[in-house]
Amino acid sequence: MIVSKRLNVLAIGIIVLLGCIATSLTSYFFAKQSVYEHVSEQILPLSSDNIYSEIQRDLLQPTLISSLMAHDSFVHDWYLEGEKTPDQMVNYLKNIQTKYDTITAFFVSEQTRKYYHSSGVLKTVSESDVHDAWYFEAKSSSLPNVINIDSDTADAERITVFVNYRVIDNSGVFLGVIGVGLSMNLVDSLIEYFDARYGRNVYFIDRSGEVMFNGAHQHDLSFRETNKASFEQAFSSMVTADSSSVSFNAPQGKTVFLNSRYIPEFNWYLIVEQVEDGDTEEVERALIINLVLSGVVSLCILAFVHWVTRGYSNKLERMARYDHLTGAVNRQTLDVLFQKAIGSSNKKQEALSLVLIDIDHFKKVNDNFGHQAGDKVISGVARIMKNLLHKEDIICRWGGEEFLFILSNTDKSKATSLIKTLLNRIEDTKFDVGESTVSITISAGLTQLNTDESLPQAIARADARLYQAKKEGRNTFRSG
């Protein structure tokens, strides 16, 4: 009997042990897969976004400097006077270089094709010279500035990031290209900084998969050389998309995670690489085994918290982006949407129109019927607008009774037809304000956006047209 009891206890112990081992191993492999997905889908893409933001931040100052130079009255006047005093331009560029601590400053004149530098007149650019292709690319560009990486004309041994800004006079005539340059050492230092900060390998590749900049991790080149075929296959799949994540198993038994992010300013791909660490796996295995008993409860709690917080998060995000009364986007969100809309419009070469609308004599509604009635009128007007506009159009509550439209793929003629329809619908609608109804009208200012125009400039023009419409009797619109 004693032997039998011991066998039963042993059997139960073995069953429990096998169950724990099976549960632990199952949990481990599921957790390992989850870690892999977290690294490839969240951690590495977030690292790429942070690095890209840092690069854009460091490119912002030289872009602003180049913009100031391109709009400097001295540059325009000196050019229009026939470039009679080259020394003045050289001194101007030298002062810019000294004042803003850039490694170079330059101006290439369209009428003489001379390359003015802070050290003097270096050359005359020519379409037949491949080293001057950057100038003619900038000249033909629809963008105000073009960033390129090339050897410095003043120092062929130095690789430089150039901000090439188009100089345009008040009549829209192209005068040349002006700008400043940054040392590629800045990019190197950024790579080394992020290597240390994130504990991952950061480098750039070109479209052929060649490593362009690798920071301080030269030993990683040997690892990539050992696994050259796997890396080349991964790179070939990544350069077909602006952003992607891949992973592969190296012969050394390690999993390699790669995330790519296309950097249009350099025409390169930013690569963030993480190699699976065996020591980390052992720590994770021990942690998983120790947390098996509390794992189920913890996961349930985390799932519940996630469910609750996700609901609140979505609600807060909507409150931050949209006007609670009308459902239209608010002014804080408009700038981001405008940049996307103008970028899409330039890319597709489609017209983009902006409309500013104001409810006529709205104060009388509030005074006669109360603010709740006024809110009903505003929400009713917004509802009519949403039903009339296309889903890709943007409607923003600009002020108390003011709205702003950004109409995609809409020129002034189409926008005029839309605004006329809106005016008629608003005028024909009776708005319920409690025990009675009220009729209202609106006035509008319409303008078509230029490709290089900022949002404040377009709004100012539309506002002037709106003021004109109100001045001329309301319940109408003006365009310009």
* Structure-token match 């660490």, residue found: 277
Strand partners, 263: 268
Predicted confidence at residue 54, as pLDDT, reads: 75
**Count of CB atoms situated within 10 Å of the CB of 178:** 32
Mean pLDDT score of the chain, rounded to an integer? 80
Q: Which residues contact 322 (CB under 8 A, 6 or more apart)?
A: 328, 329, 330, 333
Predicted confidence at residue 160, as pLDDT, reads: 80
For residues 259 and 245, is the Cβ–Cβ distance under 8 A?
Answer: yes
Half-sphere exposure of 183 (CA within 13 A, CB side): 12
For residues 96 and 69, is the Cβ–Cβ distance under 8 A?
Answer: yes
Predicted confidence at residue 169, as pLDDT, reads: 93
Mean pLDDT of 270-286: 64
pLDDT at 5 over 50: no
Q: Does domain 331-479 have CATH number 3.30.70.270?
A: yes
Q: Which two tokens stand for residue 478?
A: 């003006």
Identify which of 92, 96, 139 has the alpha carbon closest to the alpha carbon of residue 120.
92
DSSP 132: G
Q: Quick one: which H or E segment has residue 451?
A: none
pLDDT at 367 over 50: yes
Amino acid at residue number 162: F
Predicted confidence at residue 312, as pLDDT, reads: 56
- As annotated, the residues of the chain forming the CATH 3.30.450.20 domain(s) are 71-183
Q: Quick one: which H or E segment has residue 244?
A: strand 243-249
Identify which of 290, 128, 295, 269 has the alpha carbon closest to the alpha carbon of residue 204.
269
**Interval 45-77: pLDDT, tens:** 777 787 777 777 766 788 889 999 999 999 999
pLDDT at 36 over 70: no
Its CATH class, for the domain covering 71-183, is alpha beta
Share in percent of the chain as helix, strand, coil (round to 5): 55, 25, 25
The alpha carbon of residue 166 and the mean position of all alpha carbons in its chain are separated, in whole angstroms, by: 23
Alpha helices in 227-370 (DSSP H): 228-238, 278-290, 292-321, 331-348, 362-369
Which pairs from 47-51 meet CB under 8 Å and 24+ separation? 47/194, 47/198, 47/200, 47/202, 47/259, 47/272, 48/243, 48/259, 48/260, 48/261, 48/270, 48/272, 49/261, 50/194, 51/190, 51/194, 51/202, 51/261, 51/270, 51/272
Predicted confidence at residue 335, as pLDDT, reads: 86
Pairing of strands 114-117, 201-205: unpaired
Identify which of 349, 59, 47, 58 has the alpha carbon closest to the alpha carbon of residue 199.
47
- DSSP three-state, residue 390: coil
pLDDT at 322 over 60: yes
218-232, 265-279, 378-392: least confidently modelled range: 218-232
Predicted confidence at residue 2, as pLDDT, reads: 42
For residues 125 and 152, is the Cβ–Cβ distance under 8 A?
Answer: no
Q: Give the whole-number percent of the chain exceeding pLDDT 70.
A: 74
Predicted confidence at residue 297, as pLDDT, reads: 42
Amino acid at residue number 290: N
Q: Which residues contact 248 (CB under 8 A, 6 or more apart)?
A: 230, 233, 234, 255, 256
Quick one: how many helices (H) and strands (E) in the chain?
15, 18
271-275, 449-453, 454-458: range with highest mean pLDDT:
454-458
**Interval 104-148: pLDDT, tens:** 899 999 999 999 999 999 999 999 998 899 999 999 999 898 888
For residues 116 and 109, is the Cβ–Cβ distance under 8 A?
Answer: yes
- Distances 198 to 48, 52, 191, 263 between C-alpha atoms, Å: 11, 14, 11, 20
- As annotated, the residues of the chain forming the CATH 3.30.70.270 domain(s) are 331-479
Amino acid at residue number 202: V
74-88, 219-233, 332-346: least confidently modelled range: 219-233
Overall residue count recorded for the chain in this entry: 480
Residue 163 burial (10 A CB sphere; 0-12, 13-18, 19+): buried
Residue 77 burial (10 A CB sphere; 0-12, 13-18, 19+): exposed
Overall fold of domain 2-59+186-281? Beta-Lactamase (3.30.450)
Assessment of whether the complete model's pTM goes beyond 0.75: no
